[in-house]
């Protein structure tokens, strides 16, 4: 049976499985060839405060009015069930359901004046994850794909990794940049849509990098030697050897990724102490968050993980108390604290957001409906201020009251911290110059 996860009928989809033939066929070399070709056209060596980004995606539209911007003094019918509690950041309060995030609020920026005008899951997800308003004329790349293109990555390290499939591939991908900048996708449900019902013991497998079960490196070497012989024969028949030489080069890069100890070790969570694993908790988001930290340590530039189920048109407070916040609070707090303790938070941006917020007015089903005109997100690390709340909403949480910002402003500020100016122009595969973020402005108030 297919499970529906939100009101617009988005369905969970199993991640694709890859066999040995796919690993050593033309798919990954072609992927890498397209990537290198694009990088050659526009190489960037940024001077940055941040090196990597971890995006924690709350799919469905979280009711941030009951989380980061709680309104216990609002009129009846708007205020929720949760009281507010003080946090470790002076003057900032969260909902009482978030005690662990409250403890690390002094390490984060809370953006309370975020808004846009698209209350539909798919287009809003595109806007939030690309930093550009959706357009019928052009498919904009996800922020992870932009990072993959613009930031150098060591040989054998995937630049952009995702644990989730956003909107059946409608978001999170490379758009006009081409398939060379699509994410390397985790096989198996280790976080994301429907994760609260997922198999907590599911193993991590990174498509295109992890060898299939039972397929050894010795067999890989034999297959590689066979393919080399075919390539040598092809060279003798082809007067133009550039294609063959190019495929051979990227084939070797594919082999390097498969052999990469750094990448393989990032998924071996057993190398972590029991104390660290316990700190991340037992939710299905926890192993993905811990793996994300290890991937960033290995040199990955952008990691997306997530937790679904936030489309709470009914019984929103019960959902928050029973499954959503318990799965998020401890794990997100542990990720931020762990990065800080290891001296990695200054160089790693952690961003927790969804596609929109939810209505201040509580509906007849004790739920909240779609509302894009006010929402909030949390950003920690990478040179963002610590213990800071950016902007405010009005007394009822209907709209920003001070310092309003849009998704493209947030994206522009994130990439500013990565050393990339938001008005940078890059070329599409057809040679068309396109500005990274058409309308995004760097928000200096958020920057330390």
In the chain, where the domains are located: 20-446
Rounded to 5 degrees, φ, ψ at 119 are: -90, 35
- The C-alpha atoms of residue 435 and residue 424 are separated, in whole angstroms, by 6
Residue 120 contacts residue 6 (beta carbons within 8 Å): no
* Whole-angstrom Cα Rg for the chain: 22
DSSP for 276-307, written as a single string: HHHHH-SSTHHHHHHHHHHHHHHT-SEEEEEE
Q: What pLDDT is recorded for position 99? A: 98
Residue 315 contacts residue 367 (beta carbons within 8 Å): yes
- The C-alpha atoms of residue 204 and residue 292 are separated, in whole angstroms, by 11
- The C-alpha atoms of residue 353 and residue 262 are separated, in whole angstroms, by 29
Q: What is the pLDDT along the chain (448 residues), one digit of tens a residue?
A: 334 457 866 543 332 333 333 333 335 555 555 555 555 544 444 468 999 999 999 999 999 999 999 999 999 999 999 999 999 999 999 999 999 999 999 999 999 999 999 999 999 999 999 999 999 989 999 999 999 999 998 888 889 999 998 877 778 999 998 888 888 887 654 433 333 333 333 467 656 555 555 555 565 555 555 555 554 544 454 544 444 443 343 355 456 666 667 777 888 888 999 999 999 999 989 999 999 999 999 999 999 999 999 999 999 999 999 999 999 999 999 999 999 999 999 999 999 999 999 999 999 999 999 999 999 999 999 999 999 999 999 999 999 999 999 999 999 999 999 999 999 999 877 788 999 999 999 999 999 9
Candidates 112, 75, 76; CA nearest to 93 is 112
- Contacts of 367 by beta carbon, 8 Å cutoff, 6+ apart: 312, 313, 314, 315, 316
- The C-alpha atoms of residue 69 and residue 375 are separated, in whole angstroms, by 8
Q: What pLDDT is recorded for position 216? A: 57
**Entry pTM:** 0.82
Q: What pLDDT is recorded for position 95? A: 98
- The C-alpha atoms of residue 379 and residue 53 are separated, in whole angstroms, by 10
Candidates 95, 124, 132, 122; CA nearest to 110 is 95
Residue 299 contacts residue 262 (beta carbons within 8 Å): yes
378 bridge partner residues: 110, 352
377 bridge partner residues: 111
* Number of helices followed by number of strands (H, E) in the chain: 13, 17
CATH assignment of 20-446, among 2.40.128, 3.40.50, 3.40.720, 2.60.40: 3.40.720
Residue 378 contacts residue 327 (beta carbons within 8 Å): no
Helices (H), 308-355: 316-319, 325-341
Q: What pLDDT is recorded for position 264? A: 76
Which element (helix H / strand E) includes 426?
strand 425-427
């Amino acid at each position: 049976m297919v499970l529906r996860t939100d009101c617009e009928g988005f369905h969970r989809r199993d991640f694709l499985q890859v066999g040995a033939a796919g690993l050593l066929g033309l798919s990954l070399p072609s992927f890498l060839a397209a990537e290198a070709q694009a990088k050659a056209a526009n190489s960037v060596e940024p001077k940055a405060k941040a090196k990597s980004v971890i995006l924690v995606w709350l799919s469905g539209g979280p009711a941030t009015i009951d989380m980061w911007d709680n309104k216990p003094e609002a009129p009846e019918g708007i205020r929720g069930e949760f009281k507010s509690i003080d946090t470790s950041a002076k003057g900032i309060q969260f909902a009482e359901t978030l005690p662990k995030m409250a403890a690390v609020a002094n390490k984060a920026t809370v953006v309370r004046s975020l808004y846009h005008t698209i209350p539909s899951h798919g287009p809003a997800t595109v806007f939030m994850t690309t930093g550009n308003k959706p357009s019928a004329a052009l498919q904009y790349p996800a922020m992870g794909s932009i990072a993959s293109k613009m930031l150098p990555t060591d040989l054998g390290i995937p630049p952009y990794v995702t644990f989730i499939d956003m909107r059946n591939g409608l978001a999170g991908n490379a758009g006009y940049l081409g398939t060379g900048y699509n994410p390397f996708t985790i096989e198996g449900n280790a976080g994301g849509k429907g994760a609260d019902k997922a198999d907590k013991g599911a193993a991590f497998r990174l498509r295109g990098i992890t060898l299939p079960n039972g397929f050894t490196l010795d067999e890989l070497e034999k297959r590689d030697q066979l393919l080399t012989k075919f390539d040598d024969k092809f060279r003798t028949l082809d007067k133009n050897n550039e294609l063959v030489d190019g495929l051979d080069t990227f084939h070797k890069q594919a082999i390097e990724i498969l052999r990469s100890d750094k990448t393989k070790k990032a998924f071996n969570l057993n190398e972590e102490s029991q104390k660290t694993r316990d700190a991340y908790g037992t939710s299905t988001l926890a192993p993905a968050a811990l793996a994300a930290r290890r991937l960033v340590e290995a040199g990955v530039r952008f990691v997306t993980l997530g937790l679904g189920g936030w489309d709470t048109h009914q019984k929103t407070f019960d959902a928050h108390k029973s499954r959503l916040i318990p799965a998020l609070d401890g794990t997100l707090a542990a990720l931020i604290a762990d990065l800080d303790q290891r001296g990695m938070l200054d160089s790693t941006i952690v961003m927790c957001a969804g596609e929109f917020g939810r209505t201040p007015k509580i509906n007849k089903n004790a739920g909240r409906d779609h509302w894009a005109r006010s929402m909030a997100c949390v950003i920690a690390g990478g040179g963002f201020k610590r213990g800071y709340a950016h902007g405010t909403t009005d007394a009822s949480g209907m709209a920003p009251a001070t310092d309003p910002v849009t998704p493209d402003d947030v994206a522009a500020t994130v990439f500013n911290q990565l050393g990339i100016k938001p008005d940078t122009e890059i070329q599409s595969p057809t040679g068309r110059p396109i500005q990274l973020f058409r309308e995004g402005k760097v928000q200096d108030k958020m920057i330390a």
